């Protein structure tokens, strides 16, 4: 299996859980040192890494090739790399920031699909989990690029799910609310006030949803958004 953003908090935590469950895991990320650390901390022969920028087509092709050569194919793909960007009201949002966030969160997710789907199609099986967010279904003030990008991942998921269902490949998104991790550094009080169950998600809760969607336990689940948000998007 392949996890992009594999050196990050959700990606590396999921990597550890999937290794425990018997998967062979390729962690993909921009950050070599963080990847080395993640592999070391998981501490298993079943995990390795590849450095790649998910926005660059030839680097995406290269990590897919590495996974196929190293592990004989890709059965599960956590299309997870993402950046949050700055927080500004829309008129003050810099064009360069907008483009950068869209490049990683939309182009990067698209490129991953483009190169992983043919590999899965060859085997006639596979499960892809894209990391969207609650920002994929509601507006997050101050975060226009992130919100647009996470909505866009749902569009990519829906198109792919329809296209590849006949090939035995499933595609879903997970949509976490703020996770107890670095990304949720802002406005804790506001976040908690808006979360009906009054707390953040844990990394384990996110990774276990990924595990469910990757496994045959979810064999009829495709084209869906799986909220892990304590009821936030019910409002
Ligand atoms: N943490 C949260 O509260 C939260 C909530 C909802 C959704 N998400 C989503 O979950 C995913 C993972 O988030 P996280 O909390 O682990 O964040 P994180 O910042 O810890 O990890 C993201 C990883 O992606 C990598 N990355 C960024 N740009 C890249 C690029 N161009 N090529 C390759 N790798 C790149 C980073 O180096 C980093 O290691 C993201 O898509 C994020 O939007 C997170």
Residue located nearest, by CA, to atom 17 of ligand 1 = 8
State which residues form the domain around 129: 2-234
Cα of first residue to Cα of last residue in the chain, in angstroms, is: 36
- Dihedral sign (CA 27, 29, 35, 41): negative
pTM (2 d.p.): 0.97
Q: Best substitution site from 53, 56, 64, 83 to test ligand 1's pocket, by max atoms within 8 Å of Cβ?
A: 83
Residue 201 phi/psi, 5-degree rounding, is -75, 155
Ligand 1 within 6 A of 35 CB?
A: no
- Tokens 């329809």 belong to 162
The enclosing H or E element of 101 equals helix 95-102
CA count, 13 A, side-chain hemisphere, 151: 10
Give the model's pLDDT for residue 183. 56
Any atom of ligand 1 within 6 Å of the Cβ of 9? yes
- All residues at 6 or more sequence positions from 94 whose CB lies less than 8 Å from its CB, including other chains: 86, 88
Centre of ligand 1 to C-alpha 146, Å, is 11
Q: Which atom of ligand 1 is nearest to the CA of 103?
A: 31
Atom nearest to 81 CA in ligand 1: 24
- The distance from CA 148 to its chain's CA centroid, rounded to whole angstroms, is 16
What kind and span of H or E run contains 47? strand 47-51
Tell how far the Cα of 164 is from the centroid of ligand 1, in angstroms: 26
User: Residue 182: its pLDDT value, please?
Assistant: 61
| Token representation of residue 197 | 């169950």
Does 67 contact ligand 1 (Cβ within 6 A)? no
Residue 113 · residue 128 · CB < 8 Å? yes
Helix, strand, coil shares of the chain as percentages rounded to 5?
Answer: 55, 15, 30
The CATH number assigned to the domain holding 67 equals: 3.40.50.720
pLDDT at residue 187 in the model: 61
Distance in Å, CA 107 to ligand 1 centroid: 14
**Is there a contact between 158 and 130 (Cβ–Cβ < 8 Å)?**
no
State how far the alpha carbon of 97 is from the alpha carbons of 75, 86, 89, 103, 157, in Å: 34, 8, 13, 10, 24
DSSP state of 179: B
What is the pLDDT, as a whole number, of residue 79?
A: 99
pLDDT in tens, the chain (235 residues): 999 999 999 999 999 999 999 999 999 999 999 999 999 999 999 999 999 999 999 999 999 999 999 999 999 999 999 999 999 999 999 999 999 999 999 999 999 999 999 999 999 999 999 999 999 999 999 999 999 999 999 999 999 999 999 999 999 999 999 998 765 555 667 777 889 999 999 999 999 999 999 999 999 999 999 999 999 999 8
Check if 146 is active-site: yes
- Determine whether 181 is exposed, middle or buried from the number of CB atoms within 10 Å of its CB (0-12, 13-18, 19+): middle
Our count of domains for the chain comes to 1
Nearest-5° Cα angle at 127, 17 to 29: 60
For residue 40, how far is its CA from the centre of ligand 1 (angstroms)? 20
Considering the candidates 49, 93, 146, 226, report the single residue annotated as catalytic.
146
- Write out the E strands in 52-208: 76-79, 126-131, 169-176
pLDDT of residue 180: 84
């Amino acid at each position: 299996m392949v996890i992009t953003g594999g050196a990050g908090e959700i990606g590396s935590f999921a990597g550890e859980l999937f290794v425990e469950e018997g998967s062979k895991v390729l962690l993909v990320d921009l950050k070599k040192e963080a990847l080395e650390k993640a592999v070391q901390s998981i501490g298993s022969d079943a995990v390795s890494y590849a450095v790649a920028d998910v926005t660059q087509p030839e680097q995406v092709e290269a990590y897919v090739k590495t996974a196929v050569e190293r592990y004989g194919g890709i059965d599960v793909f956590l299309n997870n790399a993402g950046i949050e960007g700055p927080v500004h009201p829309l008129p003050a949002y810099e064009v360069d920031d907008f483009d950068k966030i869209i490049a990683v969160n939309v182009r990067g997710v698209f490129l991953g699909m483009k190169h992983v789907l043919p590999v899965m199609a060859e085997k006639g099986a596979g499960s892809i989990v894209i990391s969207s967010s609650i920002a994929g279904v509601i507006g997050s003030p101050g975060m226009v690029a992130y919100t647009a990008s996470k909505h866009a991942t749902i569009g990519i998921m829906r198109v792919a799910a329809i296209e590849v269902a006949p090939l035995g490949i499933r595609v879903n998104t997970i949509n976490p609310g703020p996770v107890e991790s670095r990304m949720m550094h802002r406005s804790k009080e506001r976040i908690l006030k808006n979360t009906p169950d009054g707390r953040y998600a844990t990394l384990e809760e996110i990774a276990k949803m990924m595990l469910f969607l990757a496994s045959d336990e979810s064999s009829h689940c495709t084209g869906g958004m799986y909220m892990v948000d304590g009821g936030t998007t019910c409002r």
